[in-house]
Structure 1
Amino acid sequence: MTFTEVIPYLYYPDADAALDWLERVLGFGPSTRWRMGGAQTKEADIHVGDSRVSVSGRAPAADEGGGALLIVHVDDIRAHYERVRAAEPTAAGDPPSKQPYGPTTFTVIDPWGYRWNFWEGEADPP
């Protein structure tokens, strides 16, 4: 058996607001939205480079993994930090910093509580 990819599936009570925020602030996209006959998005995919994240338009249940941390590799961490800061200054948090385990990182917590950790470089094994 060969694994080919992992697709995170995140729950947002308002998928349209979340997708708009992810596109505007983090620079993700484009997104594909399925409204299923209603006015609001029920299911969606949003591109993050060559990867994608699936989104559900409902609040998560208590047992559906609220402690997620999503790591996104970028090729220019400082440029991405400045992009986030320009789009939404309060979302940017602390500037990128070199970690003792290798990469340079910064974290954004979206308005729904998901932690997006941006990395430049790889972790160095101990």
Structure 2
Amino acid sequence: MAFTEVIPYLYYADADAALDWLERVLGFGPSTRWRLGGPSTREADIRVGDARVSISGRAPAGAGGEGAVGEGAGALIIVHVDDVQAFYERVRSVEPGAAPDAPVTQPYGPTMFTVVDPWGYRWNFWQGEADPPQPNAS
């Protein structure tokens, strides 16, 4: 058996607003939206390069109640880009506050910066690969 794909499935209470933001600010898309008989999107897919992310148009379980978490709490999505500096400049030109910190080369290899969307999802944009840890020399 071979694995062929992993598709993140993210919950946004307002999927239409989230999809519009992801397309406008991060340049993702196109998106395919299913309204399922209602006025707003209930399910969607959005393209991110050759990959896709599925979007739910409802708040995650537990949202709004006791012990509730934000939509993006605990989620970190890593997106590889071929020119992290150019992508950072693009995001800053569209929405200046979306990426407050410039790309930084990490001690473990990649150069990256983070965008936190208005719903709390953290999108890390990476250029390069993480270096595996080296065993300690004895």
TM-score range, shorter chain: over 0.9
In percent, how many aligned pairs have the same letter?
79
Q: Supply the distance in 2 between the matched residues of 1:87 and 1:65 (Cα, whole angstroms).
A: 22
How far the C-alpha of 1:38 sits from its partner, in A, is: 1.4
Q: 1:3 aligns to what?
A: 3
State the TM-score, normalizing by the size of structure 2. 0.88
Q: Supply the distance in 1 between the matched residues of 2:44 and 2:81 (Cα, whole angstroms).
A: 23
Structure with max Cα Rg: 2
Query: How many residues get paired?
Result: 126
Q: Supply the distance in 2 between the matched residues of 1:36 and 1:14 (Cα, whole angstroms).
A: 15
Q: Supply the distance in 2 between the matched residues of 1:78 and 1:66 (Cα, whole angstroms).
A: 26
Q: Supply the distance in 1 between the matched residues of 2:28 and 2:34 (Cα, whole angstroms).
A: 18
Deviations 1:11-44 (A, max 9, x none): 0000000000000000100000001111100000
State the TM-score, normalizing by the size of structure 1. 0.96
SS of the aligned residue for 2:86 comes to helix
Contact 2:34 2:43 in 1 (8 A): yes
Q: 2:99 aligns to what?
A: 92
Q: What does 1:19-98 correspond to in 2, within 5 Å?
A: 19-62=19-62, 66-98=73-105
Q: Supply the distance in 2 between the matched residues of 1:96 and 1:65 (Cα, whole angstroms).
A: 22
Q: 1:65/1:111 Cα in 2 relative to 1: closer, same or farther (>3 Å)?
A: closer
1:117 aligns with 2:135: no
Q: Give unmatched runs, 5+ long, in structure 2.
A: 63-68, 134-138
Q: Supply the distance in 1 between the matched residues of 2:91 and 2:35 (Cα, whole angstroms).
A: 28
Q: Structure 2 counterpart of 1:77, which letter?
A: V
How far the C-alpha of 1:65 sits from its partner, in A, is: 7.6
Q: Supply the distance in 1 between the matched residues of 2:29 and 2:39 (Cα, whole angstroms).
A: 21
RMSD: 1.4
